Each structure stands twice: as C-alpha cells, then as structure tokens.
Amino acid sequence: MRWTPKGRSANLEDMRGRSGGRGGALPKMGIGGFLLLLVLSFIFKKDFFALVGGGGAPTEAPAGQQAPVATSPEEENLIQFVSFVLDDTAEVWTRIFANSGQTYEPAKLAIFTEGVRSGCGFADSSVGPFYCPADRKVYVDLSFYDALRQRFGAPGDFAQAYVLAHEVGHHVQTLLGESDKFRRLQGQNPDQANEISVLQELQADCLAGIWAHSTAKEGILDEGDVEEALGAAAAVGDDRIQEQATGRVNPESWTHGSSEQRMKWFQAGFQSGDVDRCDTLARQ
C-alpha cells in the first residue's frame, strides 16, 4: 500500500500503559474476537471468555493511571500507518455520507496494551480489535497485528488496513442505524441470533471493501494488496479458526461468517463501491 506518514491522527488516543479495572462484558467483539478466545481457551486449557466478563451492563471501573510508554521505531511506524488508514477511512466516508445529504462523524481509535476499559466495559487483548458503540471508538492492541501475521498467516500492510476498516465499518453501521436494525432482529428472533450476528459482520466486511474500492481509485494500492485483504478475511473466517482449534466446524456457533463468506462480501464492496450492495439481510 502506498502511504505517506503524516503524523498521528487527531482521532487517535494512545492508551498504552494505562491501567483500568474490569467492568462489564463487551456487547460486540471485534474481528475474529470470539473465535480467537476459543482458540486460546483450547490451546492453553483456560477459560479466556471469563476474562471479558459474563454479561450484563458495563460497570464503572477505577480510574486508570497513565504510565510512561516507550515506543520503538517499528511500533511508531505502525501507529503512523493505522493513523493514515483511520484518516483515509474518514475522508472516504465523509464523501459518501455527503453524497446522500448526511454528515459523517469520524470514528476514534484507541490503541492499548494488554487490557483496556472502554465505554462497553473492560476488554482483555485476547478479544482482538473491537468497536464500542457506546463511546464510538475502535480499540486495537497493536500486538494483534503480530498474531494476524504469525498465527493466522495473513501478512501485509493491507491485511492490517482491512482489520481497521472492518471495525470502522461497525462505526458506519452505528451512524446509519444498521446496528440498531440488527439488534432488533436478534431480539425478535433469539433463535437466529448467531445467524444475524454473522450478517452484521459480513456487512462490515462489505463496508471495508467500499473503503478499499476508494483506495484503488486513488491509486494507492500496490499489486497484491487486495489479495492481502482477502487473505486476512479468509484467515479469520469462523470455519477456518474452528477447524484449527478443534478439528471440527460448527456453523451454528458462527458469529462472523466463513472464510468464503467474508471474502465474498469484501469483494462485493470492493467491486461496487456501493453501500446498497452491502445489504446482507436482503442479499443473503
């Protein structure tokens, strides 16, 4: 991906070194979050799900304390990269919203280490990147990108960009009222909650594809970038992670969709650049 460091984004909050108590459970896990916990629980024979709480409304945690944060040149370069991607997604969605007479409110990005207290409660790093609609922030422990490359076999800067664009996609869903629509459907059809969750995640993949469509038009994609994003989408498919963790695939427990589904919907957004093409409820 052709990008130029432009400093840290004004919408980036560095929460590394900040301690915080454990609050309530997160209402939504980020990309591959649920199944990443499944993998960790299987490998280490420990209940990692317990680390992020068992449900209920978020509770207030003690005020965090800021500790000095030492940043290596490599880590600072990564921070500059996610800042570039974050600001580029804001530019793209600002244009798209304006074309339909709406105003886009840029998402905030909080980077953290080991654990963080968000507006949705406390989250351990094992949750993976996630979006919290309560404070409209994306949360990322930068070490996840090492896991994406090493554990999931999805290297490349555009694979990293896809992860962030997917979470920003959840922010777009919140602004457009799509998240509320999915939650209502889950409340009306509790026996289909997982299936509806999958459709919401696939829509976020499609919205990430729309951002990628814009980067292609801007001419900042390198050869192989789209393949990197597709590789990341495939790597965090529910079926692939389940098979790696247990040797079995159980579609009924999926929350994000299969590798094939995730690639399909990313491509739908990338090829069309049209938000209407991301209606996963109508285009199953």
Summarised one tens digit per residue, pLDDT across range 63-106 is 444 555 677 888 899 999 999 999 999 999 999 999 999 999 99
pLDDT tens figures, 37-67: 545 444 444 444 444 443 333 333 444 445 5
Q: How many CB atoms lie within 10 A of CB 246?
A: 12
Q: Which of 161, 84, 75, 74 is nearest to 112 (CA)?
A: 75
User: Nearest CA to 25 among 121, 119, 117?
Assistant: 121
Mean pLDDT of 133-142: 94
- Strands 115-118 vs 12-14: parallel, antiparallel or unpaired: unpaired
Q: Stretch 218-228: mean pLDDT, rounded?
A: 82
217 CB neighbour count, 10 Å cutoff:
11
Find the range with the poorest average confidence among 74-88, 109-123, 243-257: 243-257
The two beta strands, 12-14 and 108-112, are parallel
pLDDT at 168: 97
Q: What pLDDT, on the 0 to 100 scale, is given for residue 250?
A: 61
Coil, helix or strand for 121? strand
Query: Is 265 a residue whose pLDDT tops 70?
Result: yes
Question: Could you give the count of Cα atoms lying within 13 Å of 21 in the half-sphere of its Cβ?
Answer: 8
Q: Name the residue type at position 33.
A: G
DSSP category for residue 134: T
% pLDDT > 90, the chain: 45
C-alpha distances out from residue 238 to 22, 121, 123, 148, 195, Å: 27, 25, 21, 15, 12
pLDDT for position 60: 38
Higher per-residue confidence, 273 vs 5: 273
237 band by pLDDT with thresholds 50, 70 and 90: low
The confidence score (pLDDT) of residue 274 equals 96
Which residue blocks in 100-177 are alpha helix, DSSP H? 144-150, 157-176
The reported pLDDT for the residue numbered 95 is 97
Check residues 94 and 143 and name the one with the higher pLDDT: 94
Give mean pLDDT, residues 253-279: 87
